[in-house]
Structure 1
Amino acid sequence: MSSSVQDPNKQDSRNDFPDLAISSDRKPWPEDTTSVKLSRKHWIIAVASILLIILEAQLLLSVRKESQTFDESAHLYAGYSYLKRGDFGINPEHPPLVKLIAALPLLPLQLPVQSPPEVFFRIASGMGGIQFLYSNDADTLLFRARAIVTLFTLSLALLVFLAGYEMFGAGAGLFALTLFVFEPNILANGALITTDMGASCLVFATVYAFYLYCKKPSVLRLAMGGLAAGLALAAKHSTILLLPVFLVLVITEIARRRGSEPKTSETRERKTFRLLSALASITVISLLILWAFYGFRYKARPDNLAMTPPAAIYLKSLKNPLEAGTIGFLEKQRWLPEAYLYGLTDVLTISREGRPAFVLGHLYPTGRWFYFPAVFVIKSTLAFMILLALTVAAKKIWHREYRRELVFLVVPATIWFAIAMTSKLNLGLRHILPIYPFLMVLVGGVAWMLVGQSKRWLYVVITLLALHSASSLWAFPNYLPYSNEAFGGPSSSYKVVSDANVGWESGLKVLQSYLDQHHITHCWFAYDGIVNPAYYHIPCSPMPTFFAWLAQQPQGVVPEKIDGPVFIGSNEMTGFDFGPDDLNPYDQFRNLHPSTVLQGEILEFDGSFKVNKISALSHFVVGSRLSHQGQVDAALFELNLAERLDPEALLTHEMLASLYAQKKQPDNATREYQIATHIYQTVHPEFQRFPPENPLTDPSSSLVK
């Protein structure tokens, strides 16, 4: 929409700050001389630049102290495999953009890359990633990749500043940028090799580009919107939520009353046609860009290699007929790349089925609608939430002249948040990270308007901004486990949230440093990551955990009584992998007060402890390994010890039933099967997702296979 005719209530600020204001209608300061305007422009650029430098410094200084988070090795391995082998079947759960960018700094190293094992795709990515990363200098590879990923965060910071200035004035842009630079959730994820920050950046860029187009249409701005949308689709599957966002934005633009914008000769019918045509053009451009990132190749893997499982079989995991039918049709017609559709199937499947969710100190068998509202309140700074609430006090924000800005900031954040609440996959605030830039620009505008209302509001806003920054700096360098002061801060987050909200298994470097400083050489460690702690020379004896077992890390038998120090990851405390209360072998530590909390996620307990359930689990893990090696008698011995130590362990009875069936002992197999069935039906049945199968009637159900 042309802006050549101005509303008489508005003043033009483009001459005040031409380099940053593309077509701004907001006036940041009163009229002044040209030299003073130029001086202020330079000061604003200088302040913004300093804030960006502070942001980058925080990101790099904090991430150097973290070992890899859970997903990073798989993402880096996948990105390097895309570049070297064009194998998009590795880690198809996410589109390739961020992984490709992360792997670029590794190309000069000429690292060898092997094909993944021909097993279930998620396990293949995990195993291949660990082998790729830890057969080289893992810390060097991680830092190179993480450093380049920060470009997404810096770009988003700049966009937040420009959008704040464009919509509300230069002061609003600086307020929004300051909020961004000291936002602990941005700092926690801003340098990680994951898709969350890339998606957040590109979703905001897409909406902002469309805002500029709606304000003053041009082919260039339309192309910018299409480019940003295509990059967003290539960053993360959840960015398809841009479709409902755009539909609502187009509807609101069509419905805008003529009196709320400059007069033009454009009729409503012509405006509707133009906006719908723009939406269609953005869609076409974005799909072409998405295809480009897959090399304009439908097949996910080169050399006729197949996906494991094949796409047609994996599609059957979708229970929703509409979703399955739509993706099946797109696969049949080859309208989108196979790897992209495969990953979309995976996202929809796990979002519908869900995984356990730990929030507000309680473990749920699957996601809950209140999960994301709760983690937003827990992990946002108190000052930021107060500033957000003050939106109602900023009178000017509700004027007609700012209606478009409100819509473009509130609608995307609301739709993203609302749809996230319907998902049963509740693993971290990172899944709603894209709402933060929209809220920050809104808060920046509100703060700037409040400052203009009275001097008293100036003191309130500056105080809240200082408190926001101080709360973030208090957490430095441990941003991942951040929670605000009302919930005890980063060292207490594990009590109310888990997984990516706490440490995401990234504390091995900190533990190594702590052990060295305190000269600890004998200890126990329960770590639910896929990295072998031995890589960081951690001398602790391992205690069994679910993912350590899946990753086939070295495991020994844990005695029934152990002496500390005992280090336990926060995820073990929640029962995320095993279930609550007696189902969780580590439940006995949940009500004990740790002597130390390292990086918010590793808890130290001193003293002597009787750990029957943990010992039983260790015997089960050893027995499982022996059974895979065909040593049935030795496996039975270990499993019987496990049963004696923990009679209520479902997995132990299931495996015993299978082994007795192999030994042609039907009575014993039936007894163990009946015990397993009883446990499944009576002990927290909501957490027992896979009922035991009788190995005498279904030999394929054997756990040893």
Structure 2
Amino acid sequence: MESGKAYNPAQKQQKTDLPGWQSKPGRSVFFAASKQAWWAVLICVFFGAVSFFSVSGFNFRDLKYSGDSITSDEVPHLTSGYYYLESGRYFLNPEHPPLVKDVSAVLIRLFLNPDFPEVSYDAPFPSEAEKEDLFFNKKIFPRVLEIENYHWDNRMLIFNPQSNPDLIILLARLSVIIFNSTLLFLLYLMLRKNFGQRTSLIALFLLSFSPLSFAHASLVTTDFASSVLQMSALGAFAFYLYLFSNDRKYKWWLGLSAFLFAAAYSAKFSSLAMLAPAFLGGAAYLAVRGFKRTSRTDLDNDYQGRSLMGRLAVYAIQYATLAIISLALTIGFYAAHVYNSDGEGIKSQLQANYPAKFPDSGKEILFRLADSNIFGRAAATYAIGISMVVNRVDSAGQSAYFMGKIYGSEGAGVWYFPVLYLLKLPLPIHFLSFVSLLLFIISVIFLIFKKPTRDVKNSPTPRVGFKNGLLSYFRTISPLSFVLAAFLAVFSYEALNSRLNIGIRHFMPAIFAALTLTAAGIGRYWNFGLGKFLTVRNVFFASALVVVFSAALSFPHYLSYYNLAGGGTDNGYKTATDSNYDWGQDVKRLGKWIKENNIETVYVDIFSLNAPKYYFGENFRYFNLKNDPPPPSGSYIAVSAMNLQNNIYDKNIPPEKKYSIFKNNLEARVGKTIFIFKTP
């Protein structure tokens, strides 16, 4: 695309593009027919298949020991999602919005329809010994537990004797995988409207073939869906910006943007963070488009006589409308989950979770909403979730292992996310990002100091010097690039200053924005020569081949993936654990190891919310070397990577109580995350 001409999606399809399709004027992007869309369909279907088999395994006759066991966050999400559909109440797991949890319950409800304990207002607070009788036999869920957000107990649904745990987990994950794969295709459609066929396929490839995506799209968790929905929302919003800046019909895209913003809010509360950067990115794009030129003649006639400030004022009003509509849609979605919720229960959870730093007047307003109609209860329930997230981020009350140290509420520091970003993605993807950024910088410098060409001299506004050269270049850039750059900057700043450091998954929206911008750069400089026989296109295909090869070698252990710079998947636990490496996914494999090796007793110290008795039978004992004496000589100790690192690097644990005393007694390694030691 020639420098100096304003960005125009109608011109983005170049001869060197992969065969693409252009929707007819006025035709909905969702129904545009083209055989080239099948490239995206195939990628999304392949992504879904790899995600599914990476966690389900291939032994469908014995699901008990096939694939990954349920991970820690999946237990409350899966349980809560089914509880919402069964009860019409929203007191479990309010710290996460319901969208992904709802999706996880669809196939379970459709094909299995297991019983869920009925909420009882009369049942007293039970002892631990009484809970199994309540859940298994009486099928009662005491309200006192419900109001306390008792969502971690796997016995209410998943490991209830009347349930099929492995089939429940399989169907829940399958629901989410289908949903996430569909969202990927939606994102492709939004990117295609902004960038064209080639760049949208490059972006889809980078997002789909990352082990990070395979790992989190296959679980009943919110991070992947939220990230894709945020990118889709920003894509729709960016196309609205293009239409608005060119005085074309934009109301449909403004409405679609509001809907996708609401969908993102309904997946994860951190999606609210895109409101400010989206507005700033849009304002920057409109400012660049409408900036006064040095000549009286405006080459692009950007705003057709309207002042820049006037256009920005209209934009601000429309953005405020978008924000209000998206929040209203979110509350409407919540209303479908609280029709049986009572005001007293909502007020009880508000009282327990309302942040101390917030004004008391806000709590009083929420109390009144809780006692009002269904929409008031929905708004108050949404506020409970936001309150819980604010408290969690402020307290960061969870220890984290990172690069040889244990961190508490102070957090792991500003380098936590940058280091994991570099180590948890394939190195060729980083190389492509470097090439894209380098070419962008070179192009900007070149155009700033470029001398006028013959064609430019004949134009009324020759592009020479800092202002005209830079503005001419940025006018050729898609509005989505402006929006994503603003989003990446703001989100990264907030993340780097956060003290809640328990996984790169919390940084996934920024990663997706960075990869999409990488794709935009690669697509823009597709035929740029890097040497006599080397172009950016060649570099991309070579890098893509390595990425695919890396994904194949890492199968099925995508959750534990680290690139070679991070020591590879086998040694990644030495950098960071928790959801970066060990989320309890190898419990099934440990059960299979116990069975195949006829082990009588295993002492287990594993990070998991699974039911050990279901997988291990009576062949296990709970164990913690910090508090318990070493077992008899010849005994087997199974320690998960997270607990291993938290023990070894805890300065408050004496040397004789650390698992490092068994470093020469490693008997086996189950999956990637469980170490089996044999006591001397």
Q: TM-score, normalised by structure 1?
A: 0.74
Structure 1 partner of 2:659: 588
Q: Is residue 2:206 matched to residue 1:179?
A: yes
Q: How far does residue 224 in structure 1 lie from its aligned partner after superposition?
A: 0.3
Pick from 254, 272, 275 the counterpart of residue 240 of structure 1. Answer: 272
Cα separation, 2, equivalents of 1:310 and 1:160? 36
Cα separation, 1, equivalents of 2:106 and 2:499? 34
Structure 2 matches for 1:136-535, cutoff 5 A? 136-217=163-244, 218-258=250-290, 263-265=302-304, 266-295=306-335, 302-303=341-342, 306=345, 310-315=349-354, 318-321=355-358, 329-332=365-368, 337-354=379-396, 355-366=398-409, 367=411, 368-395=413-440, 398=444, 399-400=473-474, 401-402=476-477, 404-454=479-529, 455-457=533-535, 458-535=537-614
Assess, with a 3 A threshold, how the Cα gap between structure 1 residues 310 and 160 changes in structure 2: closer, same or farther.
closer
8 Å CA contact 1:362, 1:496 repeated in 2: no
Q: How far does residue 576 in structure 1 lie from its aligned partner after superposition?
A: 7.2
Assess, with a 3 A threshold, how the Cα gap between structure 1 residues 586 and 93 changes in structure 2: closer, same or farther.
farther
Cα separation, 1, equivalents of 2:217 and 2:45? 14
Cα separation, 2, equivalents of 1:340 and 1:438? 26
Give deviations 1:612-652, integer Å, cap 9, x for gaps. xxxxxxxxxxxxxxxxxxxxxxxxxxxxxxxxxxxxxxxxx
Assess, with a 3 A threshold, how the Cα gap between structure 1 residues 313 and 291 changes in structure 2: closer, same or farther.
same
8 Å CA contact 1:360, 1:374 repeated in 2: no
Q: Is residue 2:176 matched to residue 1:131?
A: no
8 Å CA contact 1:528, 1:571 repeated in 2: yes
Assess, with a 3 A threshold, how the Cα gap between structure 1 residues 391 and 237 changes in structure 2: closer, same or farther.
same
| Partner secondary structure for residue 134 of structure 1 | coil
Pick from 56, 64, 88 the counterpart of residue 90 of structure 2. Answer: 88
Cα separation, 1, equivalents of 2:310 and 2:107? 48
Give deviations 1:506-556, integer Å, cap 9, x for gaps. 21112223333444344322123222211123554223359xx9xxxxxx9
Q: How far does residue 351 in structure 1 lie from its aligned partner after superposition?
A: 0.6
Q: How far does residue 192 in structure 1 lie from its aligned partner after superposition?
A: 1.0
Structure 2 partner of 1:678: none
| Partner secondary structure for residue 345 of structure 2 | coil
Cα separation, 2, equivalents of 1:193 and 1:237? 16
Cα separation, 1, equivalents of 2:523 and 2:607? 46
Structure 1 unaligned residues grouped into runs of 5+: 1-5, 13-22, 550-555, 609-705
2:42 partner amino acid: I
Cα separation, 2, equivalents of 1:243 and 1:389? 28
Pick from 68, 71, 79 the counterpart of residue 70 of structure 2. Answer: 68
Structure 2 partner of 1:613: none
Assess, with a 3 A threshold, how the Cα gap between structure 1 residues 566 and 301 changes in structure 2: closer, same or farther.
same
8 Å CA contact 2:417, 2:496 repeated in 1: yes
8 Å CA contact 1:160, 1:437 repeated in 2: no
Q: How far does residue 303 in structure 1 lie from its aligned partner after superposition?
A: 4.8
8 Å CA contact 2:560, 2:582 repeated in 1: yes
| RMSD between superposed Cα atoms in Å | 3.5
Structure 2 matches for 1:103-118, cutoff 5 A? 103-108=105-110, 109-114=112-117, 115=119, 116-117=141-142, 118=144
Give deviations 1:448-503, integer Å, cap 9, x for gaps. 33431124133322222222222222211011111111122112121111111112
Choose between structure 1 and 2 for higher RCO, CA contacts under 8 A separated by at least 6 residues.
2
Q: How far does residue 285 in structure 1 lie from its aligned partner after superposition?
A: 1.7
8 Å CA contact 1:491, 1:599 repeated in 2: no
1:413 partner amino acid: L
299-308 or 343-352: bigger deviation: 299-308
8 Å CA contact 1:78, 1:90 repeated in 2: yes
Cα separation, 1, equivalents of 2:497 and 2:443? 30
8 Å CA contact 2:148, 2:349 repeated in 1: no
Assess, with a 3 A threshold, how the Cα gap between structure 1 residues 378 and 331 changes in structure 2: closer, same or farther.
farther
Pick from 14, 18, 38 the counterpart of residue 28 of structure 1. Answer: 14
Structure 2 unaligned residues grouped into runs of 5+: 25-32, 57-66, 120-140, 245-249, 291-297, 371-375, 445-472
Q: How far does residue 61 in structure 1 lie from its aligned partner after superposition?
A: 0.2
| Partner secondary structure for residue 621 of structure 2 | strand
8 Å CA contact 2:366, 2:380 repeated in 1: no
1:605 partner amino acid: F
1:232 partner amino acid: A
Assess, with a 3 A threshold, how the Cα gap between structure 1 residues 112 and 245 changes in structure 2: closer, same or farther.
same
Cα separation, 2, equivalents of 1:211 and 1:28? 21
Percent identical residues: 20
Assess, with a 3 A threshold, how the Cα gap between structure 1 residues 577 and 252 changes in structure 2: closer, same or farther.
farther
1:70 partner amino acid: S
| Partner secondary structure for residue 131 of structure 1 | coil
* Count of aligned pairs between the two proteins: 578
1:570 partner amino acid: A
Assess, with a 3 A threshold, how the Cα gap between structure 1 residues 269 and 231 changes in structure 2: closer, same or farther.
same
8 Å CA contact 1:300, 1:339 repeated in 2: no
1:423 partner amino acid: S
Q: Is residue 2:40 matched to residue 1:51?
A: no
Assess, with a 3 A threshold, how the Cα gap between structure 1 residues 31 and 523 changes in structure 2: closer, same or farther.
closer
8 Å CA contact 1:527, 1:545 repeated in 2: no
Q: How far does residue 86 in structure 1 lie from its aligned partner after superposition?
A: 1.1
Q: How far does residue 88 in structure 1 lie from its aligned partner after superposition?
A: 0.4
Q: Is residue 2:669 matched to residue 1:597?
A: yes
8 Å CA contact 2:188, 2:204 repeated in 1: yes
Cα separation, 1, equivalents of 2:490 and 2:362? 22
Q: How far does residue 585 in structure 1 lie from its aligned partner after superposition?
A: 8.5
Q: How far does residue 101 in structure 1 lie from its aligned partner after superposition?
A: 1.6
1:383 partner amino acid: P
Assess, with a 3 A threshold, how the Cα gap between structure 1 residues 585 and 542 changes in structure 2: closer, same or farther.
farther
8 Å CA contact 2:238, 2:282 repeated in 1: no
| Partner secondary structure for residue 294 of structure 1 | helix
Assess, with a 3 A threshold, how the Cα gap between structure 1 residues 250 and 446 changes in structure 2: closer, same or farther.
closer
